[in-house]
Amino acid sequence: MAAHGCSYSALLLIICSVSVFIVADSQDTSLSGGHHAAAVEDNPQAATEAAGKTSEQPAVEERSWEATEVEEATLHEAAADKQDTPAPETEAPSPVPQPKDDFQEELVIRPLHSGDIYASFQFRTLWETDFMSGNKVSHYRLFPKSLGQVISKFSVRELHISFTQGYWRTMQWGQPFQPAPPGAELWVWFQDSVTDVDGTWKELTNVLSGIFCASLNFIDSTNTVQPSASFKPLGIGNVTDHRFLRYATLPREIVCTENLTPWKKLLPCGSKAGLTVLLKSEKLFHSSFHSQAVHIRPVCQDWQCKTTSWELRQTLNVVFDLHTSGQGKREWSLFKMFSRTLTEACPLASSSKIYIDITDDPQGELFELSPATPLLSQAMVLGDRRTFSVYDLTQPVTFGTVRSLNPLIRWKSSEGDMLRPLLHAERYVAGYGLQTGEIHTLMYNNHPYRSFPVLLLDTVPWYLRLYIHTLTVTSKGKDNTPSYIHYQPSKDRLRPHLLEMLVQLPPNSVTEVTVQFERALLKWTEYTPDPNHGFYVGSSVISSLVPSIVAMDTNITMDRPLFSSFFPCKEESSFFVRVYTEPLLVNLPTPDFSMPYNVICLTCTVVAVGYGSLYNLLTRSFQIDEPSPGLAKRLANIIRRMRGVPPL
Amino acid sequence: MGLLSDPNRRRALISLLTRLNAPICVVCYMAGVAWFMGLAFEPFTLRTYMSENAMGSTMVEERFPAGERALTTGREFAAHKKKAGGMPVDWLVKTMQSHGLEVFTQRFSRTLPFPDENKERYMVKGTNVYGILRAPRASRTEALVLSAPCTPGDNNNQAVGLLLGLAQYFRSQVFWAKDIIFLVNEHDLIGMQAWLEGYHHTNTTGMDWSPLQGRGGSIQAALSLELSSDVITSLDLVLEGLNGQLPNLDLVNLFYAFCQKIGVLCTTQGKLQRNDWDSVSGYSHAVQTMMLMVMKQASGRSWGDHGLFLRYHIEAATIKGINSFRPYKTDITTIGRLMEGMYRKLNNLLERLHQSYFFYLMPSLSHFVSIGYYMPAFGLLAVILLLRALDLWVQLTAPPPRTEDGVVDPEQMSSPGVLSVLTPLVISHLTGVALYTLPIRFQEMAVEHFPVSETEAVVLTAIAVYTAGLALPHNTNRLLSGGGTEQGWKVLKLVAVLYLAVLLGCTALINFSLGFILAITLVPVAAFVTPHVPKFLSAFVMIILSPACTLLFSVFFFQELQEMPISFLDGWMLYLSVISQGILDHCLYGSLVYPLIALLVYPCWLIFWNILFWK
C-alpha cells in the first residue's frame, strides 16, 4: 500500500508541477502577437546601471533610491513618451556577466456570476542565480534582498506563504487561481543538506514573522506537520523525502494593512508604479476575500533545464462584493474596485498586462467591456479553456488619449448559471456538549460520470483527542475504504494529529469522512486570553487531479475536426486542484475565570475541610480512656496472671 | 467541630435537635417560603447591568430604513403562503437569493407518537428555508441566527417580512464579522428541532431530516421573532427554554438596553414593569411576574422557538410583538432598528456570552434574582429533610426503650430485613416505569376498547396508572413479610427522606423552579408522614400534595396569574392537555420533566404513601 502511495504521490507531483507550468506558460505563449517584452527591456536595464554603483549601501537606502529612480523613470517616460535607447550592456561594472533577472506583472480580472468580481495580481521575479553554491550572493537587483538572504541562510528549496482574510466561496466563485486557507499558511521544503530541520524551521518562522509583520512565530511543534503526500515540491528537484518538508497553518491569523505593506515592499516598483498603484489598503480590505502570498521555488532556466533560476511569485487575490459596494448597479471598473486608475506599467517590468476573463460572454450579450481591446488570449486555466481580453500596459496606446486606463465591465443581464465546481468540500463539528464531538468532512464530486482520487490532509490540534477507531469514510451510503492512510497520533503539548488519506470519490457523490473526538481539559495556563471564543482547528486540505471541464464537454465535435477528438487529449484531461475547507471553531471545557470561579474554589476548600472533620467524627468511635494504672497495680496484675486469678 | 467531638456536648446538641425537630422544621418551612416571596421585593433584588464589555455602549446609531418595504414583503409572503397552502418555499428561496444570500432548504418529517390536539398535527412534513449572509473576510467560524416561524393562518407574516427586510439591509453593510443565518422554520418547534439537529448533525429524537448544505460555523446567539401586526404596543421577551434552561442574562440586558434607548415598551411574561415597588399592588405585580417565570420554567417546555437552541449552548430568546389597546404604537421601522442594534452588538462579541448569569429569576425586566439569592429558599426546605433524617437516624440507633419490667421488646430489637425496605422501593419504581412506558405503548389498545381519541387515551392511561399505583405498594409489603415492624418503616422512611433530598437537590440545581415547586409540596409530606397519623385525613392531604395534584393546582394558578381565570371544567380539560403536551415535549424535543416525574418523583412519593399504610 505504501508503494502505491509513493508512486501515486510522485505522479501527483509531476502532474501538479506540469499543470502549473501549463497555466503559466500558456498564458504567456498563447498570446497572438502581444508579446512586446523586448521593447521595454531597456528600462530595467537603465535601473541596473545605477543600482550597480550603489550596491554597497544598506538595503533600506537602496530601496528608497530605487523608488526615486522609478519616479524619475516615470517622468522621463512621460516626457519622452518612449525610451528607445537600449542601455549599453558593456557598462555593467562587474567583471563577470551580471546574472539575468526579469520581472513581470499581471492582473487577471474575472467577473463572477454572483455579480462580484475577482481580481488576481501576480508579480513574478526570475533570477538566474544560485544561492546554494557557496559564494555569497550580495548583489541584488530586482529580487528582494531580505528573501534572498532567507533562502541562503536557511537552505530553503521552496517556500510558500500565504495570508488570507476570508474564505473562498467555491460554490459561488468557482476555483481560485491560487487557493489559500483562511489565516496564514506556510510550507517550506528545505535542501537535503539541512541537518537540523526542526531548528531551522523554528528560526525561519521567526525571521519570516519579522519580514511579514505576522504572528508566524506562533508556529511551533504543536501545529507543524510533515505531510507525506499532500504537499509536493512545485519547483524542480528530485527530493521528495518529506523529512525536509514542514507545513503549518495559523487559522486565527488576521491579515491587515500591516501585512500588506511589507509584502508590497518586496516588489521592485514598490507601490509607486505599475499595477501596484492599485493596491491601496482602504479598498483591498473593503472586500469579501483577500489573500496575499509569496511563492519561492527553483525553476528551469530554459528548455534544456541545465541550470536553475529562482522564481519569486507574489500573488494577491481579492474579491469585491457587489452588494456592499453600494449603488446596486452591476458594473465594475478599476476605479470602482481600487479607487485608482492605471497610467503606466512598472518601468522595471518586462511585461505588464491586464487580463479580463470574457469566456462567459463570447458574444458580448452578458456584459460589455470598455474600452475594447483588440488583443485576445486563450489559456487553459483550471481545466477550462478561458478567453481573456488583454490590455498591454507597456503599449502607450493602451492608455488612449486620456492617458489612463480604467476598464469598465457593465452587466447587461444578470442571467447565466455558473458551472458547479467539480470538487468542493466543507467541514463542520457535530454534536453538542463539551465532552465529545465529531468532525465531519464532506467532499463533493460533481462530475457527472468520472470518479477521481483525492488526498485529504487533516491536521487537528492535540487538545481534540481523535478517536481514530471511529474514522469512517462513506460515499453514497456505502463504506469507501481509503487506499492509503497515513496517521500520526498526537502527543499532548508536543505535536498535532496528522491524518492523510487517499480516497476515491465516486462520480456525482458526496463523500463524508467522520471522526469522533474528545475535548481535553487544558491546564489553566494553557487557555488563551479569550477561552470562551473557542479554539481553532485549521482547514483540511484536499489535493486532487480533477478531470478537466474541457474533457467533460460532450460537444467536442463542435468546432474541431472529427479526427482530433476521439481520444481525449492527455494534458487537458485533468488538472490539479487544491481545496481548503473552512477552519473549525471548537469550544473546550473552560473554567469560569472570574470571581464566582474563585468563590467556588474557596467554598470547595471549606467544604472539603468540613467534610474531612465530619467524616472523621462519623467513622471514629469514641471511648473513655482508662487512666494508666500505677506501677504497684501493674505488678500485682502480673502476679495475679501467673496465679491464674483475674486481674484487678 | 469541637462541639461535635465532645461526646457530651454532641449528645446535648442531638437531643436538642430531636426534641425541637418539629418546631425547627416548621420554622424552616416558613422561612423558606418567606425567603422566596421576598425575592420579588425590589430592594432585595439587583438591577440588571451589562457585564459583557464587547456589548457596552457605542456611539453608533441604529439604522433600518426599510420598514414599509418589510411590511409589503410580509404581505407578499402572506399571499404566497395562502397560495401554497403552507410554506412558500420557492418564493422564499427566490427572494432571499435576490437579496444576495446563500439559500438552502431542509426537508423534514416526523410522525408524532400520538396526535397533538392543541396544534392539530400528527404526521408532520415540512421545509425549512434559510439564507446565510456571509460576512466579508470572515472564515465561516461563527454565526448568528435570526429566525421567524412560518405559522399557518395570518400569524407572523410581519415577522417574516421584517426578517427579509433586515436580511436585505444587513447584506449591504460591511461590518459583519459573523455570518448571519436568516431562518424561516415551518411547524414551529418541530421545524426548529429538525434544523438544529441537522446543523449539529445529532439525532436525539428520531426525526427524519435531510442534511444541511450550508453552515456558518459555531452559532453564537440566536433571536426568534414573532410579529403578527403592522404596529405594536410593546415587545415581550420570552426566555424560558427546554428543561428550564435560560439564556445568558446579558442577552436580556441587551434587549432591555435597546428598548430603553429606542423607547419601545418592553415586557417580560407579558407584564409591564411598575415603579411603585413600595406599594402592595406593586409588590404583588412583581410577585406575579416572578411566579409566572417560575411556573413557565418549572414546566420544562420551550416557550418559544428559541428554547431548543439552549441545548446547544447557543444563547437565544424570542421577541414577541404585542398589539394591545394602548394608544401609543411602535411601527415596524423602529423594531427593525432595535433588531439591527442588537445584531450589531452581538456581532461585536469576541467570545460567547458568558460574563453574566445563566441562573436567575426576573421579577421585572430591569431587576433579577441570581442563583446566590434564590438558592437559600430551597436550601431551607431541603434542610427539613435532613433534620428529619437525623431524627430518624437517632431514633434508630438509640438503645430501645426498656419497658417497666426491664425486658427488652424482642420484636423491636430485630433489625428489619433488607427485603422489607427493598420491596417497596422496587415496586414503587416499577410503577414509575409503568407510568412512563404504558401510556404511549397502550394507546392503540385503549382506543380499541374505549370510545376515546388517541390523545385522550394516552392521558387517561397515564392517570389510570397513576391512580392504580396508589393501591399497589402497601399491599405488596404485607404479602411479602406479613406485616411491617416499627423499625421497618423508620428505615424505609430514612431512605425515602434522603432519596427525596438528593432528588430535589439535583433537580433544583438544574431547574430551580421545578425543584422548588416540588419541594414546597413534597417536603411537608415527607416530614409528617408516619403510620401512626390519622389515616384518612393524612391520605387526603397526601393526595392533595401529590405531584399530579400539584400540576392541577399549577394549571389553575397559572391561569390566575395570567389574569385569565377559568372554570373547573375548562381547567380539567386544560389539565389533560397539559399532560399530553408534557409527554409530547418529552418525545419530540427531549424535555426531561415527564421522565423525572414518572421515574423518580412519583415513586418517591409512593414510598411515603406506603409508609402511611404501613401495617
Q: Other C-beta atoms within 10 Å of B90: how many?
A: 12
Per-residue confidence (pLDDT) for residue A11, from 0 to 100: 46
For residues A422 and B143, give the distance between their C-alpha atoms in angstroms, rounded to a whole number.
27
With beta carbons less than 8 A apart as the criterion, state whether A376 and A27 touch.
no
Q: Which residue type sits at B49?
A: Y
Residues of chain A with pLDDT under 50: 1-96, 556-557, 571
- Name the average pLDDT for chain B: 87
A426 touches chain B (CB under 8 A): yes
| Grid cell of B469 as nine digits | 399505583
Least confident of A96-100, A527-531, B46-50, B334-338: A96-100
Q: How far is B121 from chain A (nearest CA, A)?
A: 29
Q: Locate the domains of chain A by residue range.
A: 423-586, 595-619
Q: How many angstroms separate the CA atoms of A263 and A124, rounded? A: 13
Q: Give every CB contact of residue B44 below 8 A, 6+ residues apart in sequence.
A: B38, B369, B373
Contacts of A440 in chain B (CB under 8 A): 201
**What confidence tens digit (pLDDT) does each residue in A362-391 have?**
666 777 888 877 788 888 777 777 888 888
Burial tier of A601 (Cβ tally within 10 Å: 0-12, 13-18, 19+): exposed
pTM summary value: 0.85
The amino acid sitting at B362 is M
Q: Which of B273, B276, B370, B312 is nearest to B44 (CA)?
A: B370
Residue in the block written with cell 519622452: A80
Q: Is residue A148 classed as helix, strand or coil in its secondary structure?
A: helix
The pLDDT score that the predictor gives to residue A397 is 82
The helix/strand/coil state of B564 is coil
Which residues have a Cβ under 8 Å from the Cβ of A583 and sit 6 or more positions away? A181, A182, A183, A251, A536, A537, A538, A539, B139, B140, B141
The full length of chain B comes to 615
| CA–CA separation, B611 and B613 (whole Å) | 5
Asked whether B224 and B306 are in contact (CB, 8 A), the reply is yes
Q: Between A and B, how many residue pairs show a Cβ–Cβ distance under 8 A? A: 101
Place of cell 475536426: A561
Asked if the model's pLDDT at residue B18 lies above 80, the reply is yes
What is the residue-wise DSSP string for B138-207? --S-EEEEEEEEE-STTTTHHHHHHHHHHHHHHHT-S---SEEEEEEEETHHHHHHHHHHHHHT--SS--
Q: What does the domain layout of chain B look like in residue ranges?
A: 11-40+373-399+417-613, 53-365
Q: Of the candidates B7, B139, B312, which has its C-beta nearest A166's C-beta?
A: B139
Q: Does A431 touch chain B (CB under 8 A)?
A: yes
Which CATH superfamily groups domain B53-365? Answer: Zn peptidases (3.40.630.10)
The reported pLDDT for the residue numbered A357 is 87
The Cα B382–Cα B374 span in angstroms is 13
Q: Report the residue from A433, A434, A585 with minimal CB separation from B141.
A: A585
Q: Please check whether residue A486 touches B, CB under 8 A.
A: no
How large is the average pLDDT for residues B593-610? 92
Maximum CA pair distance of chain A? Answer: 139
Residues B80-127: pLDDT tens digits? 998 888 889 999 999 999 888 999 999 999 988 888 888 888 888 999
Q: Which residues of A touch B351 (CB under 8 A)?
A: 530-533
And the C-alpha cell for B422?
427493598
Least confident stretch, A274-283, B48-57, B495-504: B48-57
The CATH class that applies to domain A423-586 reads mainly beta
- DSSP notation for A540-561: PEEEEEEEPHHHH-S-TTSSS-
Return the closest-CA partner of residue A122 out of A355, A354, A315. Answer: A315
Task: Please tell me the distance from the alpha carbon of residue A138 to that of residue A116, in angstroms, as a whole number.
Answer: 45
CA B579 to chain centre: 14
Q: Distance, in angstroms, between B351 CA and closest chain A CA? A: 4
Asked if the model's pLDDT at residue B291 lies above 70, the reply is yes
The Cα-based distances of B39 to B42, B50, B362 in angstroms read 8, 21, 9
User: pLDDT (tens digit, 9 = 90+) per residue, B342-394?
Assistant: 999 999 999 999 888 999 999 999 999 999 899 999 999 999 999 999 888 88
Q: Which of A287, A433, A532 sits opposite B352 (nearest CB)?
A: A532
> Looking at residues B434-449, what average pLDDT do you find?
84
B499/B492 Cα distance (integer angstroms): 10
Q: Would you state the pLDDT for residue A82?
A: 36
Asked if residue B480 has pLDDT above 90, the reply is: no
Contact B313 A587 (CB under 8 A): yes
| A residues 58-117 lying closer than 8 A (beta carbon) to B | 114
Q: What chain A residue is nearest to B215 in terms of C-alpha separation?
A: A428
List Cβ neighbours of A638 (8 Å cut-off, separation of 6 or more): none
Q: Copy the grid coordinates of residue B461.
A: 392511561
Contact A532 B312 (CB under 8 A): no
Are the Cβ atoms of A289 and B201 closer than 8 angstroms? Answer: no
Cell of A325: 459596494
Query: Which pLDDT value is given to residue A43?
Result: 39
The answer on pLDDT for B404 being more than 90 is no
pLDDT at B150 over 60: yes
Average pLDDT over residues B228-245: 92
**Under an 8 A CB cutoff, do B352 and A286 touch?**
no
